[in-house]
Amino acid sequence: MKFKMLFTTLALSAVVFTSCEDGNKKEQEEKEKMEQMEAEEREAEMQAEKEMQEMQSNSIASKAMATDTLSTLVSALQAADLAEMMKTEEGPFTVFAPNNAAFSKVDQATLESLMMEENKDKLAGVLKYHVVEGEVMAADLVKMIQDNDGTYAVSTVGGGELTASLEGENVILTDENGNKATVVQADVDASNGVVHIIDAVVMKKA
């Protein structure tokens, strides 16, 4: 009888010990699984941060800031609170960027007025008239013009349209007032789109 009780006690002890061991093992596995998931999440976050920094350092805004002939445009983007949009938004966008010479053709009083804080929304409207959704490379735009009997209407982010045409090998943009701008440098590639530098500021019809 004593032997039977001892055997039972030992058997129960073995079951309890095995059960505890299994429980500890399962707990350890769960802990390792959680640690692995957390490590993977941290790695994914670090990778996303790295990709975002790379995108921003090669963004349309960054490309413009690195181009001396676009310094007036950069100032205008900052004044209109659009620099951040051109830096952080993935787009893609196509920007017809007026160079400094283009801004020098604008009436000085008009330009100074547009750069004032109270006219920020109006300035943003002017700048967005130079922006198109999607990435349109120069060769694609030329093909669109040729496939459409010599002109192609481009819808802008700021509303309204620009009419693209060709004069010899040059791409010409005509605004709603009939004023023309020539693309003087095409296909400045950026992480969130492409920039085509133009020699005049285009305006929507008032």
Portion of the chain with pLDDT greater than 70, in percent = 80
Least confident range from 36-45, 123-132, 184-193, 195-204: namely 36-45
DSSP code at position 197: E
Residues 58-80: pLDDT tens digits?
Answer: 788 888 888 999 999 999 999 99
* pLDDT (mean) for 183-190: 94
Least confident range from 3-7, 140-144, 194-198: namely 3-7
Q: Give the DSSP H/E element, type plus range, for residue 152.
A: strand 151-155
Q: Is this model's pTM higher than 0.75 or not? A: no
Whether residue 203 contacts residue 154, with contact meaning beta carbons closer than 8 Å, is answered with no
The C-alpha torsion from 107 through 120 and 189 to 62, rounded to 10°, is 110
Full set of structural domains in the chain with CATH? 58-198 (2.30.180.10)
Long-range contacts (CB closer than 8 Å, 24 or more residues apart) made by 123-126 = 123/76, 123/79, 123/80, 124/80, 124/81, 124/82, 124/158, 125/158, 125/159, 125/204, 126/158, 126/201, 126/203, 126/204
Residues 113-159: pLDDT tens digits?
Answer: 999 999 999 999 999 999 999 999 999 999 999 999 999 999 999 98
Confidence label for 5 from pLDDT (cuts 50, 70 and 90)? low
Query: Alpha carbon of 15 to those of 3, 22, 72: distances in Å?
Result: 18, 10, 80
Report the chain's C-alpha Rg in angstroms: 31
Whether residue 194 contacts residue 92, with contact meaning beta carbons closer than 8 Å, is answered with yes
Whether residue 192 contacts residue 89, with contact meaning beta carbons closer than 8 Å, is answered with yes
Per-residue confidence (pLDDT) for residue 4, from 0 to 100: 54
